[in-house]
Structure 1
Amino acid sequence: MRRLAPALALGAAALVAVTGCGAQDGTASLGKVKLAAAEAVQQSAQRAGEVTSYSADLVLDATGGDKGASKVQGSLLYQSKPDLATDIKLDTITFGGQNVPGGARAILSGDTVYVKSELINKFAGATKPWIKVSLAELDAQEQAEVKDVMAQVQQFDLAGTVKLLTASKDVKAVGTETVGGVETTHYSGTFPVAEAAQLVDPAEREQLQEELSRVKDVKFDLWSDAENLPRKVTLSGSEQGATFNLAASFRGFNEPVQIAAPPADQVGDLPDGPAGN
């Protein structure tokens, strides 16, 4: 039996949680137009929906709960045109205080994903640095689970992350800050998970609700530039002794990104079963 879900979950871990001038009165200046904070967040979500490529740096920290401390840190390249493709590099992966040696990398191109991880290779008994997997090649018994994980990668986008913030009823502008050398307006607020989940695609809704099942409200901060593009987003929450903090910094909007499959001689197919079976 092919057991791919744990492998792809490592590759997709960073995507799951897998998102101008300010004034203290809850409004922000955007050019010559003065926007209420809630309207500015709405426009930021709209602008994010127009972005077809970008780069991002991601950090996820989680503490407490049954699994102990966890951390995922890495970077992401994304493009939706001419074809969907992502390149995820996870330099640091720690779950329950245990470090995953060598991190992980996943390249998604169409319906094919290439995964590189020392842990995955050891588990699967792979002989090449990269493992190539296509949904069409999966055993029926494993296919549904793998499709769920693939969907997390395929459906992640900048717009989806910022769209969650539009469920906020208390967002306000808190000042101006420079992010990545760009002047931005800093917005802060909270959003109820139940309401935010209704804003995402139904295929993603159940996953979001499950991931944040212990959290009623999520605190967020958004740094938006003069063009109302989101330069940075942080999400945080706590419940029953467990906490999480996710930070994503974005750049290179609509600029060309280089995403390519690994060299063919470095790629092998997923073995039929785990090493030793």
Structure 2
Amino acid sequence: MRMRHTAAWVAFATAALVTASGCGSESVKSAVKTVDKADKAMAALARATDRTEELGSAEVRMSTDLGTGTPIAMDGTYSWGDGYAFDVQMDTKAANMQAVNHSPKTHVLFVHGVYYYDVDAFPSGPYQGKDWIRVDGSALFGEKGAQALSGDNGSPSASMKGLKYAKDVQNLGTQTVNGRRTTHYRGVIDRAHMGKFKDVYGEGSPMGEATGTKSIVMDVWVGSDDLPVRLKEKLGVMTISMDFDKFGKTVSVKTPPAARTADLTDVIAKQQKQQG
């Protein structure tokens, strides 16, 4: 069982760390007061943030490198109009989940702060016959960290809002990304300006300790329609990159049947305490 729990934990950590670095719910527009280069960049990012927030979902392709040099790929739908949720397919081998799933892709859901993994049915034991694993976000981020990521706070638009706290926001010029002409912006958010997200990535937090995050370097490529084409974040040893293929209305992500679900929240939380 330990191999199963360890595999689930690694996948959980990967799926959870998407673009959860938003630092507030206010509009970035409040930070735009002058017309110098930095403020022009902030104004462009404010438009992109507000446009993203107005919509409710996106089809995305994402890559997460936990510092191992082997990125874990995921693709699917992210929704944030009615609370942050996602429905994605994850590379099983890269996520080290072969012990619990023999399919090349693992179906992962996130709904109401809880992660669900579609796995091989447990052959025996207390979870016999169950083919979904359930893990509450508090097992990874702690109670305070999970609360900081509640609601829409983990969404792509929330991440972009974090740029209002960034230092030295730069316009790095035009670049072609996925066949589209974009403008590349970069900003750095230090620990002092992470707001409530210090509970997620700050000193002493589970993820802060795991990744060594002292600041968040955020790159955004914005298209001519004022929507992000690519979002990339560097958090300590971890790098997250998300490409947006299509935006749309809010979609509903439903939880799997309870009768088919094994709740491993307590098991993984205890394991993390033992390892920590």
Q: Normalising by structure 1, what TM-score?
A: 0.64
8 A contact 2:88–2:109 mirrored in 1: yes
| 1:53 equivalenced with 2:54 (yes/no) | no
Q: Following the alignment from structure 2 to structure 1, what is the Cα–Cα distance between the partners of residues 123 and 231?
A: 33
**Number of paired residues?**
235
1:206 aligns with 2:208: no
- Equivalent in the alignment of 2:79: 79
Whole-angstrom distance in 1 between the partners of 2:120 and 2:46: 42
Provide, for residues 46-78 of structure 1, a one-character-per-residue CA deviation record: whole Å limited to 9, x for no partner: 333223111221111132xxxx66643212412
Residue from 203, 221, 238 that aligns with 1:244: 238
Shift of 1:257: 4.8
Contact 1:53 1:80 in 2 (8 A): yes
Q: Specify the code of the residue in structure 1 equivalent to 2:60.
A: A
Counterparts in 2 of 1:161 and 1:83: CA distance versus 1, 3 Å = closer
Q: CA deviation at 1:112?
A: 7.1
Q: Is the 8 A contact 1:74 1:92 kept in 2?
A: no
Structure 2: state its 5+ residue gaps. 22-35, 268-276
Report the CA distance between 1:128 and its aligned residue. Answer: 3.5
The sequence identity of aligned pairs, in percent, is 20
- Measured after TM superposition, the shift of residue 27 of structure 1 is 4.5
CA distance in 2, matches of 1:157, 1:178: 24
Report which of the two structures shows the higher radius of gyration computed on alpha carbons.
1
Q: CA deviation at 1:230?
A: 1.5
More strand by share: 1
Equivalent of residue 118 in structure 2, options 96, 116, 119 = 116
Task: Tell me: CA distance 1:127–1:164, structure 2 relative to 1, closer, same or farther (3 Å).
Answer: same
Does the 8 Å CA contact 2:82/2:250 hold for their aligned counterparts? no
CA distance change for structure 1 residues 235 and 81 in 2, over 3 Å: closer, same or farther? Answer: closer
Cα deviation, 1:17-36, whole Å, max 9, x if unaligned, reads 657xxxxxx849xxxxxx71
Q: Take 1:121 and 1:27, find their aligned partners in 2: how far apart are those partners?
A: 61
Between the aligned partners of 1:70 and 1:122, the Cα distance in structure 2 is 33
TM-score computed with the length of structure 2 as normaliser:
0.64
Q: Aligned partners of 2:82 and 2:233: how far apart in 1?
A: 30
Aligned partner of 1:218 in structure 2 is 216
1:118-153 CA-to-partner distances (Å, cap 9, x unmatched) read 4988897441433468x8xxxxxxx96488487658
Q: Which residue type is aligned with residue 72 of structure 1?
A: I
Aligned residue type for 2:248:
N
Which of the numbers 184, 195, 202 marks the counterpart of 1:186? 184
More helix by share: 2
Q: 1:185 to 1:120 in 2, by over 3 A?
A: farther
Q: Secondary structure at 2:226's aligned position in 1?
A: coil
Aligned-partner Cα distance in 2 for 1:27–1:191: 18
SS of aligned partner of 1:36: helix
> In the alignment, which residue of structure 2 is the partner of 1:23?
none
Unaligned 5+ segments in structure 1 are 20-25, 29-34, 136-142
**Are 2:108 and 2:115, in contact at CA under 8 Å, matched by a contact in 1?**
yes
Cα RMSD after superposing both structures = 4.3
Question: Match of 1:115, as an amino acid?
Answer: Y
> What is residue 138 of structure 1 aligned with on the other side?
none
Q: Per-residue deviation at 1:157?
A: 0.6
Partner of 2:41: 37
| Alignment check: 8 A CA contact 1:52 1:80 kept | yes
Question: 2:109 — aligned with what?
Answer: 107
Per the alignment, residue 131 of structure 2 pairs with 129
